[in-house]
Amino acid sequence: MKNYSFIGPLLAVALPFAIFEFLRVGLFDDPLFIMPRGHFYIVSAVSILSTIIAIAVGVVGNRLRNIKVSFLALSFISLALVFALHGLSTPHFLLPETHLPGVAAQLSMFLATIWLWLSSLPSDHKLVEKLSQRQSMLVPGWIIVLSIFGIVSMSFPNIMHFIPLNVKPLNWFVTAIVLLLNIITITRYYQSYRFSRFPLQLSIVYSAGWFIVSQLIMVLGEIWRLSWWMYHFLLLASMIVMLIGLIKQYVVRRSFVGAIRALFTNDPFERITNSASPSVKALVITTEKKDTYTMGHTFRVTMYALKLGEELKLKPEQLKAIAQGALVHDVGKISIPDSIINKPGKLSSEEREIIETHPVNGYEMCRNLGFMKEELSIVRSHHEKWDGSGYPDKLQGEEITLLARIVAVADVYDALTSERSYRKAWTHNEAVKFLFEQKGIHFDPKCVDAWVNLCERNPTVYQIPSSTINNDTTGTLISSF
């Protein structure tokens, strides 16, 4: 990452604010544009478009199992719907002059900032975890709440006289909160962007910066002046740049026919690659570049874990969590030195200590990218043991999540049956014998029994992955991503 990469976002904030100040203090002419009807149409059109986009984003976030995307949708739903109220209450258009337009503008920015700030929190934050449990209801529920608020406000606009968000000192208190939370959001997302280079993260940096400028214009500007009109276009720009970031990060580049075919494929490799979110794919590709063994291993473990999950009759959402969590379970190895990752022999005790940091390293990466609690548990806990002797947290028994226990069986089975530079691959029977010996010690007995019964009933469960996914196929797997 180049050191001057922050200049773009910095200029995006500083330049419009400087233009506003030049207009406000009289360095440039700041004419009046008193256009109630134009204001109504501009704000309403932007709000309707933004609402449609935000709802679509909310659906995407739910399907991707990414709470950050859902929070982004809620941020722009707040901005769109409450800002629509700002347009509908334009003075002398549908309503007489009231506090409602000013209150609605301030409130739209405040609510949008809260949700955007929440999206910057790690996905294992307690507040985020609680909201994640109701992810499917967040978008429709919030739309209902804001719609009721809008109807009541338009029916009784004078009630806004009791909530003077648009006058001192309350407007400056709101401004302080908006500025503080957006600065925190910018800092967190920019730090993540420096590591991952995900387009959406940079889009959020720009949007949060324009939120700051818009809020300052709201409280400093004079209504109907050219300088005052600026914040309307900055909010429009923030929505556009967010949409561009979402498209770049989450729209899969494939033909329509290819997309339809992918929905009905029976190919197990395509099922995995099609279910993985772009964030997962980016991390898997990065991990493969670090260690070519890992790619084949990752896919085999994912296939084994999915079959074991189906045997244990897990719900579809749990299976999707396994698919994504297993694909990135070793992503923490990105930060491990190559000399240790690719060492042709047993590791020293010091090297073993370093390699055992990879679950926590991977967990820290994924929690900042919006991965859900279930996927995070797989990344962090797939090396925990049933008797409590594993790492990194020494969890015991059912303290280890079921999904992590499932992946642990799949992970060790594949490690044992894979050819490595320092030992030959074990046979299936040898690996199963080891699993049985470690029931109640390393592994959850229920998971071991289910895996063995599944393999005895359908040997293709372990035969197909082990024979078709190896180091020679990593290029094919990468191209499918």
The predicted structure's pLDDT at residue 393: 95
pLDDT of 431: 95
List all residues 6 or more positions away from 220 whose beta carbon is below 8 Å from its beta carbon.
20, 24
**Residue 366 to residue 374: CA distance in whole angstroms:** 11
Whole-number pLDDT of residue 136? 81
Kindly report the pTM of this predicted structure. Answer: 0.66
- Residues 28, 159: Cα–Cα separation, whole Å: 38
8 Å CB contact between 368 and 320:
no
Render the burial of 220-259: b for 16+ CB within 10 Å, e for the rest.
Answer: ebeeebbbbbbbbebbbbbbbbbbebbeebbeeeeeeeee
Q: Tell which residue, 187, 183, 67, has the closest CA to residue 132.
A: 67
Position 293 scores a pLDDT of: 58
Task: Note the pLDDT of residue 289.
Answer: 66
Q: How do residues 88-143 score in pLDDT, each as one tens digit?
A: 888 777 777 777 888 888 889 999 999 999 988 887 788 888 888 888 888 889 99
- Specify the pLDDT at position 22: 93
Give every CB contact of residue 75 below 8 A, 6+ residues apart in sequence.
Answer: 54, 111, 112, 113, 114, 115, 116, 119
The pLDDT score that the predictor gives to residue 388 is 96
State the pLDDT at residue 249.
65
Ranges in the chain, pLDDT < 50:
1-4, 252-267, 471-472, 479
Give me the pLDDT at residue 275, please. 54
Structure tokens at 84: 């629509």
Side chain identity at 153, as an amino acid letter? S
What is the residue type of 293?
A: Y
Helices 226-250 and 199-220: angle between axes, nearest 10 degrees: 170
What totals of helices (H) and strands (E) does the chain contain, helices first? Answer: 23, 0
Q: What is the pLDDT, as a whole number, of residue 35?
A: 82
- Helical axes 460-468 vs 292-311, angle rounded to 10°: 170
